[in-house]
A and B are shown apart, each in its own frame.
Chain A
Amino acid sequence: MVGTPVFLIAIPLLAAFLIPLIGMIWKESVRIIPGLVLAYMTVLSASLYLFILENGTYVETIAGWQAPWGIDLVFSPLTGLLATIMTFMGFIVWLYSYRFKSNVEFEAAKKYFIFLMLLVAGSVGIVITGDIFNQFVFIEIVGISAYALTAFYTGRNSAEAAFKYLIMGSLSASALLIAIIIVYAQLGTLNMAEIAANIDQMNVHYRIIAMIFFIIGIGVEAEIFPLNGWAPDAYTEAPGPVGGAFSGIVVKAGIYAMVRMMFTLFDISGPMKILIVIGLVTLIVAETSALRQEKLKRMLAYSSIGQMGLVLVAFGMGTKAGVFAALFLMLNHAIIKPLLFLSGSFLTFNTTEKYISQITGMAKKMPVVSVLFALGALAISGLPPFSGFWSKLSVLTAAADENLMLIIALVLIISVIEIVYYFRVINRLFFFEYDESVSVKPHKPGFNGMIALFILAGLILLIGFYPASVTGYLDLAADDLLNTHQYIDKVLQLGQSIIQ
């Protein structure tokens, strides 16, 4: 091991405070140090993940206070997998945004990279913490850095998008705090494992009220309908790589908080149709809205919301196959959607409006980026042999096992809608003539950006041709989420002794 899980939070926070100071002496450090920190976080979480696969879940107690009293960080097959994906995507986004647009300036780069690092640290914190109030704090860290990153460009409408996001974010955080108060007043604990163990003692009315407040509180980060009004604006107005970071990192943390709350805290594994209902509404509304968008990034944002709806539907089935399919979808979405955002950002580089019509015939000018964009589009709409196909197939088989024919029909219809709106873009990109009067001036993509795109494309092809390379890990993660008793025992250190 190269460290303990607490470094995943402590190192980026420390670096965020030190960067402005070091930046006074050595200007380039504001770009390089965040990259080093994110690379270290990736290596650390990957090595911890491999360690816990061999030795079982690792529970870190902070400052020597044992689990029900102190704050603990839980690094299990599920949280480890998500933390590894998030830190890796954080590194890819850093690689891409190194010297991206106004990041060549010192002041802009300083703010951008500090907030990017805090965004990744907060998202990882949401996933690995074992304490609901701690989770609230991390949700606020993610929120504040996300507002700042959304408002990064002056002169656009970015402040308006950020303000919208801020109002929704802080109202939902208030709801989350109320939910935490209700749980604390009823059970006298903030530890997730102890809440899960004692949830039966809670009055059923308070349980339902607390759950509703939790859904409102977490739903904004998880982009569920109708709490996702911020998402299209924020994705459109934020810098391109930040859109990739939102869809690849922040939303995954929101979804995790949602399912951890639903599966572990409020054990409702029986009639758990509420997640299916929320997911289906989100899916249908988002995909039909994506169909009529004229701006590229807005379309990608709606597509992202729709995918999260599908993830929630798959989680909502509550079976092993369903959870497996949902995690597979999350993994694929975390790889593919950043690829779309990053390559789409290169295609629409010299425009502020990002209309789809402005990239007409760009394949003649920027063939490699266009092919990578098309690869992502084909993968996310679930065409074989790309990775998206396997995850969609596993959703369908999981639904078939449960005899949920309506869901199968809806998912297939939605897939057709996805193909329609992605192929509309691909058609314009490849089969239209380049027209100077409509299209934007092509921009030569940077070297580091192309490396980031090729890494993501390589992962899509790898998972597409060898799905067995990841299914084993996803299987373990699905088992981990469903096994509530094991989680409680591990965190509260009942039964077996823990590995030190």
Chain B
Amino acid sequence: MDTAELIRLGVYGTSILLILIGLYAVLTKKSLIKIIIGLSIIDGGIHLLLIGIGYVKGGTAPIFSPGSEDAVARMVDPVPQALVLTAIVIGFGVTAVALSLIIRLYRHHNTLNIDEIKNLKW
């Protein structure tokens, strides 16, 4: 196994680990803030995965410029990076909405413990 493949496996492994850590936080933590942190960690893992897919070792930016017309073969795939930018903005929006909801919940219930907020049952 050469280094490039090792790096690739490392990136994929790290991103999946991040997703799992975030999922663990969302599922087990009692504090609303920690749940939101967990969601952000999941987002981070997914963004890393996306970037990892488009990465080319020793690649260049996907821009044609004088003197580097041969760069087509070495270009990093730009689509995942565009996707990640969009996904980051969306994640930011969701986190902001979530935090504002937490403020509302805290004013209503005077607690951030999810076990004590159970007026609605399935």
Contacts and interface: CB of A to CB of B under 8 A. Distances in A.
Interface of A: 133, 137, 140, 143-144, 147-148, 151, 154-155, 157, 159-164, 166-167, 170-171, 173-174, 177-178, 180-181, 184-185, 190, 229, 232-233, 236-237
B42 A163 contact: no
Contacts of A184: 53, 79-80, 83
Contact of B104 (A137, A144, A151, A233): A151
B75 interface: no
A160 B79 contact: no
Interface of B: 19, 26, 32, 35, 39, 42-43, 46, 49-50, 53, 79-80, 83, 86-87, 90, 93-94, 97-98, 101-102, 104-105, 108, 117, 119-120, 122
A171 B39 contact: yes
Contacts of A190: 79
A137 B85 CA distance: 12
A143 B97 CA distance: 11
B105 A160 contact: yes
A67 B9 CA distance: 33
A143 B108 CA distance: 23
Given A160-B119, A162-B101, A167 B35 contact: yes
27 contacts: A133-B83, A133-B86, A137-B90, A140-B93, A143-B94, A144-B93, A147-B101, A148-B97, A155-B108, A157-B120, A159-B101, A159-B108, A162-B101, A163-B101, A164-B120, A166-B101, A170-B94, A174-B39, A174-B43, A177-B46, A177-B50, A177-B87, A178-B19, A180-B83, A181-B53, A232-B122, A233-B120
Contacts of A173: 90, 94
B120 A160 contact: yes
Given A137-B86, A137-B90, A171-B42, A159 B98 contact: no
Given A164-B120, A174-B19, 13 more contacts: A140-B90, A157-B120, A159-B101, A163-B101, A166-B97, A166-B98, A174-B39, A174-B46, A178-B19, A178-B49, A181-B50, A184-B79, A236-B120
Nearest to B103: A159
A1 B96 CA distance: 40
B102 A185 contact: no
A298 B49 CA distance: 40
A171 B26 contact: yes
A177 B79 CA distance: 14
A144 B93 CA distance: 8
A140 B94 contact: yes
Best-surrounded residue of B93, B119, B120 (most CB of chain A within 10 A): B120
A185 B46 CA distance: 13
Given A159-B108, A181-B50, A174 B42 contact: yes
Contact of B46 (A143, A147, A148, A181): A181
Contact of B120 (A147, A148, A154, A237): A237
